[in-house]
Amino acid sequence: MECQRCHNRPATVHLTQLLNGEKTEIHVCEQCAKEKGYMHDHEENFILNDLLTGLFNFETKHSLKGHPHSAPSPKEQLKCPNCGLTFQEFAKAGKFGCAECYKTFDDKLNPILRRVHSGNTRHDGKIPRREGGNLHLKRQMDEYKSDLQRLIEQEEFEEAAKVRDEIRSLDSQLHQRGEED
């Protein structure tokens, strides 16, 4: 593949950005990547902290050179009251100091989670189908119950009756599986 910038050398650096569900790919040679700031001359290997720093929209230590006023002053830094970790320290390390950090940095975390998870800020987890047993049916039933409540509030009684029947069907399946277990 040819470099998309200079069109002279083979592309050896491949970057993919997923933002609001839109995927953008960039394929450039090493020299163009260094010129555009995707890589640094003295860094040959990608560092995890650089990825986290990019996700949190923080400037790296390399981009701060010559810009002494670009970092927030100590008074402006958001700090966890329990462990004393600042958001800037979290961004560099990629780890929280304690459980209280989640509450302290909540306003700054939601945009990051949206960016990382294509707009989602809630993670329900996954359950293997073989091992999940009745849990899948229970989750489906919970979804149907909330749908039923919404339909009743909107006075869509025909649709509500269909959802009610689905709930009864799932309930029947749960009772049959309960007898088999």
pLDDT single digits (tens) 98-141: 889 888 888 887 777 777 766 666 666 666 666 666 777 888 88
Residues 41 and 51 in one domain: no
Residues 137 and 176 in one domain: yes
CA distance 24 to 56: 18
Residues 41 and 53 in one domain: no
For 50, residues 6+ apart whose C-beta sits below 8 A from its C-beta are 43, 60
Question: Which pTM does this prediction carry?
Answer: 0.33
pLDDT single digits (tens) 3-61: 999 999 999 888 887 777 788 888 888 888 888 777 755 544 555 555 555 555 544 34
Residues 85 and 60 in one domain: yes
**Confidence (pLDDT) at 38:** 72
- Tally of domains in the chain: 3
Residues 119 and 152 in one domain: no
56, two tokens: 């949190």
- From 28, 45, 62, give the residue that closes a domain: 45
For 37, residues 6+ apart whose C-beta sits below 8 A from its C-beta are 63
CA distance 94 to 56: 10
Neighbouring CB atoms inside 10 A of 144's CB total: 20
Range of the structural domain that residue 158 is part of: 129-180
3-state secondary structure the chain: CECCCCCCCECCEEEEEEECCEEEEEEECHHHHHHHCCCCCCCCCCCHHHHHHHHCCCCCCCCCCCCCCCCCCCCCCCECCCCCCEHHHHHHHCCCCCCHHHHHCHHHHHHHHHHHCCCCCCCCCCCCHHHHCCHHHHHHHHHHHHHHHHHHHCCCHHHHHHHHHHHHHHHHHHHHHHHHC
Residues 60 and 108 in one domain: yes
